[in-house]
Amino acid sequence: MLEGKVALVTGGSSGIGRATALVMASYGAKVIVAARRENESQSTVETIRSAGGTASFIKTDVTDEEQIRAMVDFTLSEYGRLDCAFNNAGIVGGPPDQWHESEVESLMSSFDVNVTGMWLCIKHELRAMKDSGGGSIVNNSSIAGNRVGGHHNYTTSKYAVNGLTAHAAVAYAADGIRVNAVAPGIILTDVWTDRFEKDPALREKWEASIPMGRLASPAEVGEVVAMLCSDGASYVTGAVVPVDGGLAMTIAHP
């Protein structure tokens, strides 16, 4: 599905990013893993290579524009082009709190990574894709981007991600660049696994609230990202695709 394509994955050291990198490589993409954590990222790269795929790592902090520029330039120097990008790097924020008791620094920390960092990634990815005649960008949003719940800073940042996605999709459609987003629900990443181990009843509540009756693996998000990056999605742009087992269509919330 992605044979011969060059794919960049930010936050590829763990969770949804790592799983997506592995999925994209399994479909034939040459994958660049960009993240701050070197050991975990190299593990992703080695897993891809041991399966016969092609992958490279570049250490990247998405809050630093020069590192993002270097990330894209590294991709171009190593593989000659950039066809696909999954902007996955992000932070969840803290537990739900009272807005009137919050400090502005907590808002800015969420926006520095989830919004400004993504804006910078999109900027430099667009630059590379315009030069090579097109491509596909997928941003990692969240179910929190179309409903209210959890930490207000995180929710606000994911609404902003959907706005970035829509604007870029319209502005660069004529350049052959498609821009979409995925909106994961409750995915069994380390963050959620740790919470469920401490509170098994919370898992039961979430499973009961999801129409499909189960939680998802990170790879299930990766499969949707790979589809959106493929030629099979050639007429899809500006979409925010839920990967949530139907949760966003309900009003239930544990």
CA distances from 55 to 21, 41, 67, 189 (A): 9, 10, 19, 22
154 is catalytic: yes
Active-site entry in 27, 79, 154, 172: 154
DSSP structure string for 98-153? -GGG--HHHHHHHHIIIIIIHHHHHHHHHHHHHHHT-EEEEEE--GGGSS--S-HH
Question: Which residue from 129, 150, 151 is spatially nearest to 229, judged by alpha carbons?
Answer: 129
CA dist., res. 46 & res. 226, Å (int): 20
CA dist., res. 123 & res. 242, Å (int): 24
Catalytic residues: 154
